[in-house]
A and B are shown apart, each in its own frame.
Chain A
Amino acid sequence: MTARAGDGAQSRAAGTGVRATAARLALMALPLAFFGLFFAYPVAAIVGRGFDTDAGWEPGRIGEVLGRPDIAGVLWFTTWQALASTALTLVIALPGAYVFARFDFPGKQLLRAVVTVPFVLPTVVVGSAFLALVGRGGLLDELWGVRLDTSVWAILLAHVFFNYAVVVRTVGGLWAQLDPRQEEAARVLGASRFGAWRRVTLPALGPAVAAAALMVFLFTFSSFGVVQILGGPAYATLEVEVYRQTAQLLDLPTAAVLTMVQFAAVGLILAVHAATVRRRETALRLVDPALTARRVHGAGQRALLGGVLLTVAVLIVLPLGVLVERSFDTPAGYGAAYYRALQDEGAGGGTFLVPPLEAIGNSLEYALAATGIALVVGGLAAAALTRRAGPLVRGFDALLMLPLGVSAVTVGFGFLITLDEPPLDLRTSWILVPLAQALVGVPFVVRTMLPVLRAVDGRLREAAAVLGASPLRAWREVDLPLVRRALLVAAGFAFAVSLGEFGATVFIARPDRPTLPVAVARLLGRAGELNYGQAMALSTILMGVCAVSLLVLERLRPERSSGEF
């Protein structure tokens, strides 16, 4: 990629530069206000409450808390399991990235959507299904008598399950656009197959692999549901410990220290990530992925494809399939009884006051609102970040990613003590749910939009202006067609992520309009066959809605996107 919008900007007069900065600040105003009000302020307030004890401010507690052996154990476990999960995910998913990038096979689009489903599903739903793979009587148990449900392996494998798509999409997306002729040229010049790969492809791919690895590390470092459900009480990550200290024990001082530690760690990860992303944006010769994918031929390639498909089938399709199977498995044989029961007002014994089916509508409404917010905030932020800029703006970029690494309970409890005064008495307002969901959606919008925005060639617009187009017309004819797809993809991702968001939604008191994940959790919290069956049925519906929106995304995928997700 040789011509970039940013390159042209550098040659412009200094006066334009000032105006550009002013415009950038104007664009950043809303995202900054949004993050300030709905993230930084609540989180700072709850952390501040922790440090501000009766005895006054006690920053000295940090050392005291970190010195506790149980806390040190949590820190150690959090770090090593994240490292191990990341390594395992890379080992298992990189062949998948290659296969998705270079091979053409029937059902590829569908499969790419399927592997992404876990990423956007709430862990509360999948955790139990994952047990069907590694738990008692699970597949591994029946085949080889291997049970992993109480071991750390279950956690690691579940992390692979959740993050497979991150590697496939980030690395595979770029891999598909690397011109294979470069490697071929190296071979013609006498390099061995491995030598050509090592000297040509690997350096080009390296930063993408690093970026993917850092994202996986971030997600597993702040893992919550997986560790809670599969790990049991013996294992706790920082995020789980923050939850226990805050929600269960109300030990705010300890929670505050842990939150600060997590902040520091996540900040460090994001800083490294930002650096690798910048390196990745160095000029690469990219081509249309449709041109690089080939039909499979030869025994070696077939074996590779087969291996990847088998991995996906066992690791991802099987646990998801178990959910579906259980949702139809009624005492009277297979049937749709649990689905029918969802329409019943009395279902769940009055826990909902409405038929559980309404949770679908609620979820869709919330997710749409969250998508709208995420698009406005993320779109403006991406627009402001389009031009290369100094450390301040890069810092802003990292700031937008922070909510991915901060405990939902911290944000939720922060809302409680900050948003209680008019005009921002939002604590019991419905809008709080989409706001919290949007916090998680914004990073995805930014990461999807940014590469595309940066690739829009400013000269096209200038040409349109020279030809007499009004600014509006130039925007409509030039910009809109170029970014429309990226915008839709971003919208779809924000939508799917909001749909599955569970953490913050649970900690926000809301009038009784449960979202799908909340309804599932509530049904699982009650004894009895029908409740369990309905939880499975609702999970299946949630999965279906997520899969459909992801499948639509596949159709809309920008041809030349080096976006990360």
Chain B
Amino acid sequence: MSTTKKLAGTALAVALGVGTLAACGDGDAKGKDGAVSGTPKTKQVTLVTHDSFASTPAVLKAFEKETGYTVKVLKSGDAGTALNQEILTKGSPRGDVFFGVDNTLLSRALDNGLFTPYEAKGLAEVPEQYRLDKAEHRVTPVDSGDICVNYDKKYFADKKLAPPQTLDDLAKPAYKDLLVVENAATSSPGLGFLLATVGKYGDQGWEEYWGKLKANGVEVVDGWEQAYNERFSGSAGGKKAKGDRPLVVSYASSPPVEVLYAEPQPKDAPTGVATGTCFRQTEFAGLLKGAKNEAGGKALLDFMIGKKFQEDMPLTMFVNPVVKGAALPELFTRHGVVVAKPETVAPDRIAKNREQWVKAWTALVLK
């Protein structure tokens, strides 16, 4: 009998030793988060967001200086996962502000009553087209971006073929077996592209269009990472992975990003954007119901549509500012494109039909 006890003792002793080591490491971690016990909680504001959130540390420091609040950022998975986690914890949120719900999922957030209405200071500077909840101000528009087909410039130059520009082009025989898209059921750009086709061809026409795309050899993969980094021939990752699809559903901002993260930076982006294939995505932030620090949350929302944060976003999250007069970095003005006429679908229409569209799309394209 004593055997067991002693063996347990051994385990405990070693474990405690290891545990102590780990605890040492943890000490300074807490310091970094700024959650030093004893400091009143209201001095910290917690931003819950998705994994793609990014910000220059200096910008968050500036917020600290202006308002006295430190920001704690909690990332929890991709955009859909992060939102679903918020819905699950409704009423007892993990933070004060949620950022990252876009117009394709907005209805899900609003129907679940996640947010406390708040009209952020400076909202007047945001053009009306982005203010999708202007009656109640439950969410504040923060950024926008376009989901578009990107093309590999070199491929089309070598083939002496003009790259496609519109959705119609993609179904033409000249572009057979060239396009890779993401699964609309699991990927946010995948869903955006499906919505672009719904916006363009309507309730009746989109299924027929996808039938043509399928006949034209469209490939579907699960996520943006596989599509862009593995299958697309124009990206840095895709070149190494010997990707052989010169057309991919990505973002209008992807070409400037390819330039930014190349060394040395090339004069021209290796990829281009088919501007007639775009769907406009707008991302929102909102004050969570049950937030522990409402005042801090409001200050953070104000800050997010302020110039500093807005002008930082292009080079950290590769999205466009929504505030009038926010300057775009040279990289964007030089290598980016202006999408004059993106496809749009009204949020309530998306809300009503999203699941049915995705189901029909899955049955049509994947089966």
A residues sitting closer than 8 Å to B (CB atoms) are 5, 16, 19-20, 23-24, 27, 49, 128, 131-132, 135-138, 228-229, 232-234, 244, 246-250, 326, 329-332, 337, 345-346, 348-353, 361-362, 364-366, 368-369, 371-373, 375-376, 378-380, 382-384, 386-387, 413, 416-417, 420, 427-428, 430, 434, 449, 453, 456, 458, 461, 471, 474-475, 479-480, 483-484, 487, 491, 506-513, 521-522, 524-533
Contacts and interface: CB of A to CB of B under 8 A. Distances in A.
B236 A529 contact: yes
Contact of B22 (A49, A372, A386): A372
A351 B244 contact: no
A161 to B, nearest CB: 18
B161 interface: no
Interface in B46-78: 46, 48, 51-57, 60, 72-77
B4 A527 contact: no
A428 B46 contact: yes
Nearest to A352: B54
Contacts of B135: none
A524 B225 contact: yes
B89 A416 contact: yes
A203 to B, nearest CB: 31
A233 B183 contact: yes
30 contacts: A128-B230, A131-B230, A135-B230, A136-B241, A233-B222, A234-B366, A250-B84, A331-B263, A348-B54, A349-B261, A353-B73, A368-B21, A369-B22, A373-B15, A375-B15, A379-B12, A382-B7, A417-B89, A427-B89, A430-B29, A510-B74, A511-B73, A512-B73, A512-B74, A525-B51, A525-B52, A527-B261, A529-B262, A529-B263, A533-B236
Contacts of A326: 240
A368 B25 contact: yes
Contacts of A135: 230, 241-242
A353 B16 CA distance: 32
Interface in B234-276: 235-237, 240-244, 250-251, 254, 257-258, 260-263
A386 B4 contact: yes
Contacts of B225: 524-525
A427 B94 contact: yes
Majority DSSP secondary structure for residues of B touching A? helix
A321 B170 CA distance: 38
Given A368-B25, A525-B52, A532-B237, A420 B89 contact: yes
Contacts of B14: 375, 379, 487, 491
8 closest A-B pairs (Cβ-Cβ)?
Answer: A379-B11, A528-B261, A529-B236, A137-B242, A372-B19, A369-B22, A509-B76, A365-B25
B186 interface: yes
A470 to B, nearest CB: 11
Given A233-B221, A416-B85, A416-B89, A247 B77 contact: yes
Interface residues on B, range: 35 or more
A108 to B, nearest CB: 28
Nearest to A510: B74
B88 A416 contact: yes
B5 interface: yes
A387 B4 contact: yes
A71 to B, nearest CB: 13
Given A372-B19, A379-B12, A511-B73, A475 B6 contact: yes
A247 B81 contact: yes
Interface string B93-134: 011000000000000100000000000000000000000000
B204 interface: no
A513 B186 contact: no
Contacts of B39: none
B85 A529 contact: no
Nearest to A21: B1
Nearest to B18: A372
Nearest to B2: A471
Nearest to B49: A509
A137 B33 CA distance: 45
Contacts of B185: 233, 244, 248-249
A471 B6 contact: yes
A408 B56 CA distance: 31
Interface of B: 1-12, 14-16, 18-19, 21-23, 25-26, 29-30, 32-33, 35, 46, 48, 51-57, 60, 72-77, 80-81, 84-85, 87-89, 92, 94-95, 108, 183, 185-186, 220-222, 224-226, 228-230, 235-237, 240-244, 250-251, 254, 257-258, 260-263, 312, 315-316, 318, 355, 366
A326 B225 CA distance: 17
Given A365-B22, A509-B74, A528-B262, A379 B7 contact: yes
B299 to A, nearest CB: 19
A482 to B, nearest CB: 9
A428 B52 contact: no
Nearest to A347: B261
Kindly name the residue among B1, B3, B56 whose own CB sees the greatest number of chain A CB atoms within 10 A: B3
A522 B78 CA distance: 10
A361 B11 contact: no
B23 A529 contact: no
B92 to A, nearest CB: 5
A166 B331 CA distance: 50
Contact of A372 (B16, B244, B366): B16
Given A527-B254, A529-B261, A531-B261, A136 B242 contact: yes
Kindly name the residue among A351, A416, A417, A529 whose own CB sees the greatest number of chain B CB atoms within 10 A: A529
B51 A522 contact: yes
Contacts of B318: 349, 527
A527 B228 contact: yes
Contacts of B2: 461, 471
B10 A350 contact: no
A473 B240 CA distance: 61
Contacts of A351: 52-54, 316
Contacts of B72: 511
A527 B250 contact: yes
A171 to B, nearest CB: 27
B4 A350 contact: no
A229 B235 CA distance: 18
Contacts of B229: 128, 524, 532
Contact of B8 (A383, A461, A527): A383
B254 A136 contact: no
A435 B275 CA distance: 47
Contacts of B355: 249
Contacts of A229: 222, 226
A365 B26 CA distance: 7
B262 A530 contact: yes
B57 A345 contact: yes
Contacts of A329: 240
Given A373-B19, A430-B30, 7 more contacts: A128-B230, A350-B55, A353-B73, A361-B25, A372-B16, A379-B15, A491-B14
Contact of B220 (A131, A232, A471, A532): A232
B263 A507 contact: no
Contact of A479 (B6, B54, B261): B6
Nearest to B251: A527
B11 A376 contact: yes
A326 B241 CA distance: 10
Contacts of B89: 416-417, 420, 427
B222 A332 contact: no
A417 B91 CA distance: 11
Contact of A507 (B77, B186, B243, B315): B77
Kindly name the residue among B18, B29, B254 whose own CB sees the greatest number of chain A CB atoms within 10 A: B18
Nearest to B260: A528
A332 to B, nearest CB: 7
A325 B22 CA distance: 33
A492 B60 CA distance: 39
A29 to B, nearest CB: 11
A375 B11 contact: yes
A137 B242 CA distance: 6
A524 B89 CA distance: 29
Contacts of A364: 25
